[in-house]
Amino acid sequence: MSDEIRQIEEANAATGLTKLGKLMALMGPAWLAIALNIGGATVTAAVVLGSQTGFKFLWTIVPQVFTIWIICILFVRVSLATGKGPVTVARENLGEAAAWATGISVFIVNLVFHAVQYALIGIIVNAIFGVDQRVGAIVGLVFVLIIVLNPGKGKTYLKVIETTLRVLVWVLLLSFVIILFRVEINWGGFFRGLIPSIPADHGEAISLMGVLGAAIAINVPVLAAYGTAQRKWRKEYKGMSMFELTYTNVMLILVQFVVIMAVGSTLFAAGQEATSAVVAARALEPFAGDAAVYLFSIGLLGAVFTTMVSQVLISGFIISDTLGWDVNPTSRRFKGAELVVTVIGATAPLFGWNAFQFTIYGGGFNLTFAPLLVVLWMVMANRRNLMGSELQQKPIMNIGLVVALAIVLTSTIRYWTGVLG
């Protein structure tokens, strides 16, 4: 029995806060995945939606997070059963076409949103320090290179990244929570927002789909699965993986809730529509004081850094696996593959491109590719010879995935109907 398995058993034997603390200390792969979701695109989409519609669509956060949570469980369990990454699993069990469909889908989504992060960091640094936006892009590039090119070997390499992401996620969450104590929350609007309602017009529908598309990101479960395979987690970690995926997705709910609460209680109430998270930070100043600009910017900066690191990491995984290379994060090929999205993404602010216009379309790519990959993984997860008796898909999971698939398909149809008029 490994030391880690022994620690998990000790944690499960504990109770209350002691048990929670022990399990939190053992978390790993889920931090890689949640850093993609609690990112600049998700925060920006929540800001835009909150300033346009207030609390009206607060209720959508729960089904949205349920969807990505159960899809993550699906992908991770296949990796727990096989010990391999998603593209290799698809190639060995569904054929070469499925492997390339997975690789291309994830790469496109990853690339679009990576360019958005570079645009965001340039604007944030400009807002805080007043320097040229291109300086911000360079700062982001240097930070990413330091973290993802760290010299650690094996598990140590990933633990450096996981620890960095864990700290950044807590920084961004606490920054947004502090803002709530500086504004007057419209609690009536908050509770009304938990009652389901539908978009009243084309603009509301597109903004809502932007939030759903940013959070229901197909690269999230793929990265969670790669992290699981790299940490060599197998069926013995089934309970641990369920805990960490649930824990981190609850954090995703909280981040979106606090952002919409702050923006909906202030900007929406004042009739001020924010076109980005940085615009919202500046607009919050009359309601929450000078500190709001810095708190919101720090929170957003944390969101951008977490996403950038995870996106670069998944670039290495997806390119290496799709091309049939050895998926070894410490190899030169892998590190070269990691730099592909960084080199392309960094050109957005350096050449003055407005990557924000691609945020909504990036969400559309997410929603469009997600159903295909979910169906493919459901097929594999229901194969007893692949999953084994302990990990084979249970009826309740299939039902949950069908519900998630219905949510994604409905959102996809609504999105493209809106875009195409």
Tens digits of residue pLDDT in 206-252: 677 666 766 777 888 999 999 899 888 888 888 889 999 998 899 88
Kindly state the tokens that stand for 300. Answer: 């957003």
Report pLDDT for 363. Answer: 65
130: left (phi over 0), alpha (psi -120 to 50) or beta: left
Measuring CA to CA, which residue among 197, 182, 154 is closest to residue 327? 154
pTM to 2 decimal places: 0.86
Per-residue confidence (pLDDT) for residue 22, from 0 to 100: 82
**Is pLDDT above 60 for 357?**
no
The mean of the pLDDT values for the chain is 81
Q: Which two tokens stand for residue 145?
A: 């290179």
CB neighbour class for 305 (10 Å; exposed up to 12, middle 13-18, buried from 19): buried
Tokens of residue 2, six digits: 């490994």
Structure tokens that stand for 74 in this block: 């699906």
pLDDT score at 97: 93
- In the prediction, which pLDDT does 219 show? 85
Lowest mean pLDDT among 96-100, 108-112, 131-135: 131-135
Q: Cα dist. 29→24, 232, 293 in Å?
A: 12, 11, 32
Backbone angles phi, psi at 132, to 5 degrees: -60, 140
Looking at per-residue confidence, does 205 or 253 come out higher? 253
End-to-end CA distance of the chain: 59
* Nearest in space to 386 (alpha carbons), one of 90, 109, 173: 90
Residue 277: its pLDDT value, please?
Answer: 65
Q: Where does the pLDDT of residue 91 fall: very low under 50, low under 70, confident under 90, or very high at 90 and above? A: very high
Does the pLDDT of residue 133 top 80, yes or no?
no
Once rounded to an integer, what is the mean pLDDT over residues 342-347? 78
Q: Distance between CA atoms of 142 and 308, rounded to whole angstroms? A: 11
Phi and psi torsions of 405, nearest 5°: -65, -40
Phi then psi dihedrals of residue 231, to 5 deg: -80, 0
Helices (H), 54-132: 61-82, 86-94, 96-129
Whole-number Cα distances in Å, 397 to 70, 77, 248, 385, 403: 8, 11, 19, 18, 10
Cα(17)–Cα(299) distance, integer angstroms:
27
Model confidence at 200, in pLDDT bands (50, 70, 90)? confident
The CA R_g of the chain, rounded to the nearest whole Å, is 20
pLDDT, position 263: 84
Question: Could you tell me how far CA 30 lies from the centroid of its own chain?
Answer: 10
In whole angstroms, give the CA distance from residue 56 to residue 76: 33
Residue (of 67, 66, 62, 72) closest to 29 by Cα position: 72
List the structure tokens of 340.
């592909």
* Interior angle at CA 57, CA 56 and CA 63, nearest 5: 150
Let me know: does 48 contact 264? Beta carbons within 8 Å: no
Whether the per-residue pLDDT at 1 is higher than 60: the answer is no
φ/ψ (deg, to 5) at 178: -60, -35
- Three-class secondary structure of residue 278 per DSSP: helix
Closest CA to 102 of 94, 385, 213: 94
Distance CA 205, CA 199 (A): 5
CATH number attached to the domain at 62-419: 1.20.1740.10
Residues, the chain: 421
Per-residue pLDDT of 246-296, as tens digits, reads 988 998 888 888 888 888 888 888 787 776 666 676 666 666 666 667 777
pLDDT in tens, 46-90: 888 888 888 888 888 988 889 899 999 999 999 999 999 999 999
389 by Cβ neighbours in 10 Å (0-12 / 13-18 / 19+) ranks as exposed
- Domain edges within the chain: 62-419
Look at 415 and 5; give whichever has higher pLDDT: 5
Tokens of 130: 């007043």
126-155: average pLDDT: 76
Instruction: Determine contact, residues 287/306, Cβ cutoff 8 Å.
Output: no
The one-letter amino acid at 364: G
CA distance 251 to 352: 34
C-alpha to C-alpha distance for 214 and 199, rounded to whole angstroms: 18
